[in-house]
Amino acid sequence: MTFCKFSPTMAKSNKTAIDNAFITDFLPTAPDLCVKAYILGLLKCNNADDNENTLEYFASTLKVCEDDVISLFKYWEDIGLVQVLSTDPIEVRYLPIHASAGSVKKYMVDKYTDFNIQAQELFQNRMIMPNEYAEFYNLIEKRHIAENALLAIIKYCIDFKGFNLSPSYVITVAKDWEREGIHTLEQVEEKINELGVIDDQMSLILSSMGTKRKVQIEDKDLLNKWLKSYGFDLNVIIFVVKLLKNKKRRLDVNILDEFLTKYFEMKLMSVQEIENYENEKENLTSVAIAINKELGLFYEDLTKEIDTYIVPWLNMGFDLEMLKTVADNCYKSSIRTLEGYNNILNKLFKLGIVNLNSYLQYLNDNLAIDTKIKEVLVSLGLTRNVNNFDRNFYSTWTDSWGFSHEVILYGASLSKDKTNAIMYLNKILSNWNGSNIKTLEQAKSVKVECENSSTFIHNNYTKEQISSLLTNLDEVEV
């Protein structure tokens, strides 16, 4: 318990000494709130045990939030007049004032005195905090935004958002504009004029949506994306708004953005293209249902499937009969997902096969090859179905090594009943290819010298692939 202390009345009537150096060297350039906080702190230093010597009291008295109180004392810490020992809980120690204290900080404040005054006048009753001034200085010093340009940005933001906006909002806008290469007053004015045009366009869009609210900067950013990044005309955007209203959809700028993004990704850029797509939605649903039925799939909501798969497939030139036939073949080949089915269609498209006739011709051509491969397997004494490994071998023997079917059958007759007969046949043909033996007569005239079949690498086929000709597409790159 304190032995002696002032009465509350005496404490209030007592004097608080302020160093003259503070008044002459620091007060003129310091923000008003910083001066108030410093003097109020001096008062509390004279009576440290005062119950009102708290962060809450400072915030209430200065009419700022508690974080702002800390910022005010951080300003004086940068100057060198106090030391903030802790921020939670807040603990501040006042230091003796020296002439050299905070010379760098004071230089910055002095350098931007006119800027500080004009900026604070623009914000009116909303006091700019020291850390916010520091951000402004950083924009000028490090990002090379001219002072008059930054003041013009502040005025634009206040005109747009009102006096209650935070300086941090201005700082964010200034940084965004600086990334666009805007540094001078002329560039800022050009940007504001451009935004004025966008403002009128966005107002028209909001009006067509039935919204009476004021255009926000975020709205302008969206419109900028729709017009410049996506490349939509304004009339297309208005058309999409009306389209969504006719469908009784809940409508705001974010939902509009979702639809415009979807149309952009689907490469539907004109009113006609979008209108055709929406009119065809019922037909597209029927197509999706038919394909899903063939693949053994069911989805309650087909919107994503239509947008992601059906529309691109139709744009590639596939017709419904072709899509259903391929889907049926995929199902029989255990390809029963939209992703796997899409992969097959992309490979067919790569081969230029987009209609049913060309697809059936492709199957017939490959069926003829499979028939020949089956003959080889029978000659080897194998009774299984043709698989993709067989097709790869046969393609190598015929296309790469240049053997005729008759030569391959002769080699198969020599390989029959060998352990892993197809590998034995491959060894024979490899030796003939190395010796440039290509004709049946040449093959019959030489002695077959292969390693004992027991030395061949043995592959255990645990599961035979389904005899679907679609597996031939695995070698096609998409």
Tokens standing for residue 418: 């060998």
Cα–Cα distances in angstroms (integers) from residue 344 to residues 30, 308, 324, 358, in the given order: 72, 15, 13, 15
Q: Which residue has the higher pLDDT, 235 or 417?
A: 235
Residue 377 has pLDDT above 60, yes or no: yes
H/E segment holding residue 408: helix 405-415
Query: Is the Cα dihedral 347, 351, 354, 355 positive or negative?
Result: negative
Residue-level pLDDT at 406: 93
CB 62 within 8 A of CB 40: yes
Number of Cβ within 10 Å of residue 474's Cβ equals: 12
Give me the DSSP letters along 3-42. Answer: SS---HHHHHHS-----HHIIIIIGGGS-HHHHHHHHHHH
Residue 159 has pLDDT above 50, yes or no: yes
pLDDT grade, residue 455 (50/70/90)?
very low
Q: What is the mean pLDDT of residues 8-13?
A: 62
Instruction: State which amino acid sits at residue 374.
Output: K
Number of Cβ within 10 Å of residue 144's Cβ equals: 11
Minimum mean pLDDT among 8-12, 40-44, 236-240: which range? 8-12
- Nearest CA to 412 among 385, 462, 448, 378? 378
Tokens standing for residue 165: 């906006």
The whole-angstrom separation of Cα 246 and Cα 238 is: 12
> Using one digit for the tens of pLDDT, what is the confidence trace for 251-302?
889 999 999 999 999 899 999 999 988 887 778 888 899 999 999 998 888 8
Residue-level pLDDT at 256: 93
> Using one digit for the tens of pLDDT, what is the confidence trace for 65-87?
888 888 888 888 877 888 888 88
Tokens standing for residue 251: 């409508």
Residue-level pLDDT at 166: 81
Q: What is the mean pLDDT of residues 20-25?
A: 86
Q: Is 300 exposed, middle or buried (0-12, 13-18, 19+ CB in 10 A)?
A: exposed
Minimum mean pLDDT among 220-234, 357-371, 446-460: which range? 446-460
CB 353 within 8 A of CB 472: no
Cα 221 → chain centroid: 16
pLDDT grade, residue 460 (50/70/90)?
very low
Residue-level pLDDT at 101: 52
Residue-level pLDDT at 473: 59
Proportion of the chain above pLDDT 90, given as a percent:
29
How does the average pLDDT of the chain come out, rounded?
A: 83
Residue 92 phi, psi dihedral angles, 5° rounding: -120, 135
Minimum mean pLDDT among 19-23, 184-188, 194-198, 473-477: which range? 473-477
> Using one digit for the tens of pLDDT, what is the confidence trace for 237-254?
999 999 988 877 778 899
CB 55 within 8 A of CB 89: yes
Residue-level pLDDT at 1: 45
Lookup result for tokens 């209203």: 245
Residue 2 has pLDDT above 60, yes or no: no
